[in-house]
């Protein structure tokens, strides 16, 4: 059975030596000293290793079940959720006015990786609650906030997001769910929603559904969509729970993975709902927390790669099979461990260099969100908006691929459910799909974000890389191992962006046909940049005699691998992009 240990040391390195969190001029960051973040991360790691991770396989095997309209979670989930609540984890970065701890997003992003690595399906219950909390916090009336937020911050009540309907996923303008205004200012919600994660369960007293629906007579399509708060139990004026609302779980979906989470078909049959924000501005309300939510999904993808990698390393060191081609490494044993074989190392280095680079990328992006929110920093906001589809698309695609690599190291045992490696691939798979399928992320990146703000955000990004290279260019080892490859990759990214600008205006297909490759090209440049920054930090620590030489040397070695063996993907992506739209679009539909 797989195990999990939180990468606290690596997170501390990123927070304090790469991002230098406590030195940043961001409100709340001065609290983030080494000891404080270490305490939080270690505590999150402890409950994850001891409580959440052991329930991961149980959740996968048992799944959830719907009996007489009630959803039952797997054995142990309820008690674990109580521990999660009691530990105060739910409100870590929530508004203190409603009982949260008000800590920066960069820290909750780190704990989020830890919790998801231990048990992604479990962590989706509080995760969805947090999404609903954010929407109500941003758009709710004072009464709504007072009514719902304290209970959601504590996770006594959980939340959901209801967007998809059977005939509409990405294209929400096709929505059919209706919201009819009532005399008392409330609405009657009617319609069917599908793929509702954490839609119902037995771990909280109430479920607060956020539901997109159309008010009759409003504008056509996406412009006529409004957002509603629809509680499972009506909340009375005194805050106590009243009648059951007219909503029910129609079905639980049988999925490839995340079996421990209840993915529900939700039927609304004239349920009482309360308008959240303005009429017909539902999409705007929904998109408010999009950067955070998509970053969160990116971290989920990464998290599965992390736990899969940890277990692959253990197996590669334990399993004796074959002899090293350069001579026996374990001559007294019947065979050498798998890890002596070059191709096993190639796989492990792919995983390790991704996982650590992606972690830095995720935490850096979270720090930009903090800067955007806490400092009202428009530049940071522009940059993180640009990065969001990259974090989501690249980290989940690559994270999934890494779980497959990790599974492969187990050979036949990787395919047997008992060993637990299959679950990581199956759970990771959903991250490429939900919260906007990755093709939609690529479209968002190339079709919207690249041109946003007159292209200033990506210019700022390129400038940041350029000045970083200039600043550190005198270190020859850094230059050849990190800065030159980064410079080259960054040029390839600019070349691709230039191709889009020159050709995409006349024919948008010239840009969109290359959007997926562009998202991956962008991701590689970001991870290359992170590795260069980590290399600078590691070299500084070594020069300063910071101790733990092996840790910093390992950083440099792993980073060199990324630059030498992963960045060459950029050449492939730019070649695909600049081959243009014709190869992609030439075939008539009938001939597929």
**Residues 148-187, interacting with a copy of itself (CB under 8 A):** 164, 167-171, 173-174
Examine residue 572 and tell whether it contacts a copy of itself (CB under 8 A): yes
Nearer to a copy of itself, 332 or 474 (CB): 332
Candidates 315-323, 383-391, 467-475, 538-546; binding stretch for a copy of itself (CB under 8 A): 315-323
Active site residue 435: yes
Q: Residue 269: enclosing H or E segment and its boundaries? A: strand 263-275
**Residue among 200, 352, 370, 351 at smallest CA distance from 292:** 370
Examine residue 543 and tell whether it contacts a copy of itself (CB under 8 A): no
Q: In angstroms, rounded to a whole number, what is the distance separating the alpha carbons of residues 226 and 211? A: 8
**Residue 203, exposed/middle/buried by CB under 10 A (0-12, 13-18, 19+)?**
buried
Examine residue 542 and tell whether it contacts a copy of itself (CB under 8 A): no
Q: Which of residues 404-463 bind a copy of itself (CB under 8 A)?
A: 404, 408, 411-412, 414-418, 422, 425-426, 429-430, 432-434, 437-439, 442-443, 447
Q: How many Cβ atoms sit within 10 Å of the Cβ of residue 42? A: 13
What's the full length of the chain, in residues? 592
**Selected binder of a copy of itself within 217, 238, 326, 543 (CB under 8 A):** 326
Examine residue 237 and tell whether it contacts a copy of itself (CB under 8 A): no
142 CB contacts (<8 Å, ≥6 apart)?
none
Q: Are strands 178-181 and 187-197 parallel, antiparallel or unpaired?
A: antiparallel
Examine residue 550 and tell whether it contacts a copy of itself (CB under 8 A): yes
Q: 407 near 414, Cβ under 8 Å?
A: yes
Nearer to a copy of itself, 101 or 557 (CB): 557
**Selected binder of a copy of itself within 112, 199, 231, 257 (CB under 8 A):** 257
Give the shortest CB-333-to-a copy of itself separation in angstroms: 10
Count interface residues toward a copy of itself (CB under 8 A): 95
Examine residue 284 and tell whether it contacts a copy of itself (CB under 8 A): no
Give the shortest CB-268-to-a copy of itself separation in angstroms: 19
**Selected binder of a copy of itself within 493, 513, 526, 536 (CB under 8 A):** 513
Examine residue 67 and tell whether it contacts a copy of itself (CB under 8 A): no
Examine residue 121 and tell whether it contacts a copy of itself (CB under 8 A): no
**Residue 280, exposed/middle/buried by CB under 10 A (0-12, 13-18, 19+)?**
middle
Examine residue 541 and tell whether it contacts a copy of itself (CB under 8 A): no
Radius of gyration of the chain (CA): 24
Nearer to a copy of itself, 41 or 344 (CB): 344
Give the shortest CB-441-to-a copy of itself separation in angstroms: 10
**Selected binder of a copy of itself within 328, 452, 546, 575 (CB under 8 A):** 575
Q: Hey, which residues does 190 pair with through a beta bridge?
A: 178, 269
Q: Which of residues 10-29 bind a copy of itself (CB under 8 A)?
A: none
What 3-state class would DSSP assign to 411?
Answer: coil
Candidates 62-70, 266-274, 329-337, 450-458; binding stretch for a copy of itself (CB under 8 A): 329-337
Examine residue 49 and tell whether it contacts a copy of itself (CB under 8 A): no
Catalytic position from the list 435, 458, 464, 476: 435
What 3-state class would DSSP assign to 155?
Answer: coil
Phi-psi region for residue 43, left (φ > 0), alpha (ψ -120 to 50) or beta?
alpha
Q: Which of residues 468-507 bind a copy of itself (CB under 8 A)?
A: 507
What is the per-residue DSSP string for 336-370? -BGGGSHHHHHHHHHHHHHHHHHHHHHHHHHHHHH
**Would you tell me the crossing angle of helices 342-374 and 290-318 to the nearest 10 degrees?**
160
Examine residue 361 and tell whether it contacts a copy of itself (CB under 8 A): no
Helix residue spans in 505-562 (DSSP H): 508-512, 515-543, 549-561
Candidates 50-58, 451-459, 494-502, 562-570; binding stretch for a copy of itself (CB under 8 A): 562-570
Q: 116 near 300, Cβ under 8 Å?
A: yes
Active site residues: 435
């Amino acid at each position: 059975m797989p195990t999990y240990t939180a990468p606290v040391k690596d997170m501390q390195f990123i927070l304090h030596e790469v991002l230098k969190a406590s030195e940043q001029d961001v409100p709340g960051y001065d609290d983030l000293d080494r000891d404080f973040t270490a305490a939080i991360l270690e505590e999150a790691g402890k409950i994850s290793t001891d409580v959440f991770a052991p329930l991961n396989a149980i959740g996968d095997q048992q799944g959830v079940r719907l009996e007489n309209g009630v959803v039952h979670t797997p054995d142990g989930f309820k008690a674990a959720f109580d521990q999660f609540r009691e530990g105060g984890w739910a409100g870590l970065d929530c508004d203190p006015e409603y009982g949260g701890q008000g800590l920066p997003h960069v820290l909750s992003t780190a704990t989020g990786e830890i919790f998801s690595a231990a048990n992604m399906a479990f962590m989706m219950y509080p995760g969805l609650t947090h999404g609903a909390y954010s929407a109500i916090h941003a758009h709710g009336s004072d009464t709504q906030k007072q009514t719902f937020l304290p209970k959601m911050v504590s996770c006594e009540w959980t939340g959901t997001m209801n967007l998809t309907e059977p005939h509409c996923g990405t294209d929400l303008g096709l929505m059919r769910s209706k919201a009819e205004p009532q005399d008392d200012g409330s609405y009657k919600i009617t319609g069917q929603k599908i793929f509702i994660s954490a839609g119902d369960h037995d771990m909280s007293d109430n479920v607060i559904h956020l539901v997109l629906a159309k008010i009759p007579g409003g504008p056509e399509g996406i412009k006529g969509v409004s957002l509603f708060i629809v509680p499972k139990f009506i909340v009375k004026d005194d805050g106590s729970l009243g009648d059951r609302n007219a909503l029910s779980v129609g079905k639980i979906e049988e999925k490839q993975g995340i079996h421990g989470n209840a993915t529900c078909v939700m039927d609304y049959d004239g349920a009482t709902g309360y308008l959240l924000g303005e009429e017909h501005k539902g999409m705007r309300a929904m998109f408010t927390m999009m950067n955070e939510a998509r970053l969160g999904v990116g971290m989920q993808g990464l998290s599965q790669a992390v736990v899969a990698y940890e277990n692959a390393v253990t197996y590669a060191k334990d399993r004796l099979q074959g002899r090293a081609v350069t001579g026996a490494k374990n001559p007294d044993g019947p065979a050498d461990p798998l890890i002596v074989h070059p191709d096993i190392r190639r796989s492990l280095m792919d995983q390790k260099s991704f996982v650590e680079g992606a972690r830095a990328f995720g935490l850096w992006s979270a720090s930009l969100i903090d800067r955007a929110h806490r400092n009202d920093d428009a530049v940071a906001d522009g940059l993180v908006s640009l990065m969001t589809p990259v974090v989501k698309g690249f980290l989940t695609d690559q994270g999934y691929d890494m779980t497959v690599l990790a599974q492969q190291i187990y050979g036949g045992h990787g395919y047997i459910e008992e060993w637990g490696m299959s679950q990581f691939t199956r759970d990771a798979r959903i991250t490429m799909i939900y919260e906007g399928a990755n093709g939609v992320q690529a479209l968002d990146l190339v079709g919207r974000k690249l041109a946003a703000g007159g292209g200033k955000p990506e210019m700022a990004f390129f400038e940041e890389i350029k000045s970083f290279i200039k600043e550190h260019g005198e270190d020859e080892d850094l230059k050849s191992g990190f800065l030159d490859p980064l410079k080259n990759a960054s040029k390839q990214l600019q070349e691709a962006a230039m191709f889009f600008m020159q050709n995409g205006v006349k024919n948008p297909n010239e840009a969109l046909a290359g959007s997926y490759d562009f998202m991956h090209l962008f991701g590689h440049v970001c991870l290359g940049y992170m590795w260069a920054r980590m290399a600078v930090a590691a070299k500084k620590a070594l020069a300063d005699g910071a101790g733990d030489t092996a840790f910093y040397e390992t950083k440099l070695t792993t980073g060199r691998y990324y630059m030498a063996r992963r960045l060459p993907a950029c050449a492939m992506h730019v070649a695909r992009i600049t081959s243009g739209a014709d190869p992609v679009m030439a075939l008539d539909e009938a001939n597929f």
